[in-house]
Chain A
């Protein structure tokens, strides 16, 4: 499909390739800069959390910086929470889900309020 002379498919494939390269970079950084070791199941679900980070930021690059730092802080804090308070670290995923849903709902209500204001 070509509309407005933009090669849609070529751009989509290109974006996927670049996206995969970024994910590969993340994996390489994890091995060469963090764990200094390669073992099965190296990533404790970073890829999946990455989707949540991108969704929360609505695909805005600067927003991703903010949401990645937020989720990074949450997950780092979760380890400390488990050590000091005995709360299972995985509970942090619930917090992440709640943040995402809260942002979605706030957004919906803002849109509705704006619509009512203009109507």
Chain B
């Protein structure tokens, strides 16, 4: 049987479990809205927890809470300095950040409090009852008799919604995540915004760790966050990067965790470890089901595979195949009109047009075509197109969207040696060749070693594009 006090206990436990997850997930949401995935959130929670313990043991729980926020922010700043400052891989850097936090907190804790395992007993933040409301049956204790961090977390939901969707700064943050190049063109300092969002996210995660110590457990233990930071990342995905969605997902996870208390109280005869599995199982199922196929804000998120996904999707959508010069192409038009010119001994189609895609790390190797080729930018990031005319003149053009300060179209004259490379993550262009393209009229510079040596010596930029 489930009576009122059991239901009240369940709801209180639900909100208690959800609070640190909600705080950490809201912080991670901020970073991810700016196009930064911070896997150091688990580490930021841990340093927040230890800072809270140190602050509380020397100057009381309030000092502990403040110190926790600061510690989380400092760790996130370290992550941001490397991942955003030096543009290293975010996943690897975030993993290293959490690893460093594991070591730091463990070592400092053992130094400061010894290894006796006797357990540290800290002053904690008691529940703050809202007069009148705390006595409402069922939801009163869960919503109106909680420690301060719970109110902070619940208040942060509408505040962050307002920030993200109703302020210029929020718009700038979302623009940075959605399309860094457009944001930069609009005058938004992209990397500064990302660094600030990541540090704010770390402060939230630090507060989450501090909450765990000061409002719930009352002590610190090594690895005490036990993967909550990673669960928070899953919650951000489940909540679709929206503050309200994140709140609901955190409450759902809290509910799944609190069920074990309910089942135990109801005298259900089953090993409690089974219930410990429940919230994680639920997360897996929901991530696979509901959240399957959701897209993170921002196609241009670095290093998370989104861009590779986009390029792959374009290859499939446009039915592209590998081109001998590099990249992928598909001929989309071949004129039925035939023309005969002095360059070609036999008639050629008057015009051919292809889609051509270059992804990051690939390039169009130096080659020449015995026909004029008009390049038109279509989608993605700019690319750098260069050519040497038959007369020996050297040209370099940034082909891309006008908003990028690039030129949208350029023509490489017949017989010129040309090469190009994407300046961003991928570039989709359309190339029109007239008279029409034939592979007999196509040659790669690397196949002509003597000419190759001459041209590379004269134009070193070609060296990396053979």
Contacts and interface: CB of A to CB of B under 8 A. Distances in A.
A16 B86 CA distance: 31
A92 to B, nearest CB: 6
B356 to A, nearest CB: 16
B99 A90 contact: no
A92 B106 CA distance: 10
B268 interface: no
B316 interface: yes
Given A90-B110, A94-B107, A52 B463 contact: no
Contact of B106 (A55, A91, A100): A91
Interface stretch (A18-26, A61-69, A101-109): A101-109
Contacts, number: 87
Interface size range on B against A? 20 to 34
B103 A91 contact: yes
Contacts of A108: 86-88
Classify the secondary structure of A's interface with B.
Answer: helix
Interface in B77-116: 82, 86-89, 91-93, 95-100, 102-104, 106-107, 110-111, 115
Contacts of A94: 99-100, 103-104, 107
A105 B102 contact: no
Contacts of A95: 103
Given A94-B104, A97-B100, A104 B92 contact: yes
Given A90-B110, A91-B103, A108-B87, A52 B316 contact: no
Interface string A83-119: 0000110111111111011001101100000000011
Contacts of A97: 96-97, 99-100, 103
Contacts of B325: none
Interface residues of A, number: 29
Contact of A101 (B82, B87, B322, B460): B82
Contact of B86 (A48, A52, A105): A105
B96 A52 contact: yes
B295 interface: no
A118 B460 CA distance: 6
A1 interface: yes
B107 A100 contact: no
Contacts of A104: 82, 86, 88-89, 92-93, 96
B96 A90 contact: no
A23 B356 CA distance: 41
A91 B110 CA distance: 10
B36 interface: no
Most buried by B among A55, A95, A104: A104
Interface string B311-336: 01101100000100000000000000
B313 A1 contact: yes
- Give the one of B100, B316, B322 with max A CB within 10 A: B100
A73 interface: no
Chain B interface SS verdict (over half): helix
A105 B86 CA distance: 7
Interface in A6-23: none
B259 to A, nearest CB: 21
Given A1-B313, A1-B316, A108-B86, A87 B96 contact: no
A37 interface: no
B322 A51 contact: no
Contact of B102 (A90, A101, A119): A90
B95 A90 contact: no
B107 A91 contact: yes
Interface string B57-84: 0000000000000000000000000100
A93 B102 contact: yes
A57 to B, nearest CB: 11
A38 interface: no
A71 to B, nearest CB: 10
Contacts of A2: 316
A35 interface: no
Contacts of A105: 82, 86, 88
A91 to B, nearest CB: 4
A4 interface: yes
Nearest to A119: B461
Contacts of A51: 95
Interface of B: 82, 86-89, 91-93, 95-100, 102-104, 106-107, 110-111, 115, 222-223, 312-313, 315-316, 322, 460-461, 463-464
Interface of A: 1-4, 45, 48-49, 51-52, 55, 87-88, 90-98, 100-101, 104-105, 107-108, 118-119
Given A55-B92, A87-B107, A101-B82, 13 more contacts: A1-B316, A52-B95, A88-B115, A92-B103, A94-B100, A97-B100, A97-B103, A100-B92, A101-B96, A104-B89, A104-B92, A105-B88, A108-B88
The 3 lowest CB-CB distance pairs between A and B, nearest first, are A93-B103, A90-B106, A97-B100
16 contacts: A1-B312, A1-B316, A45-B102, A48-B99, A52-B95, A55-B96, A88-B110, A91-B106, A93-B104, A94-B100, A96-B99, A97-B103, A98-B100, A104-B86, A105-B88, A118-B460
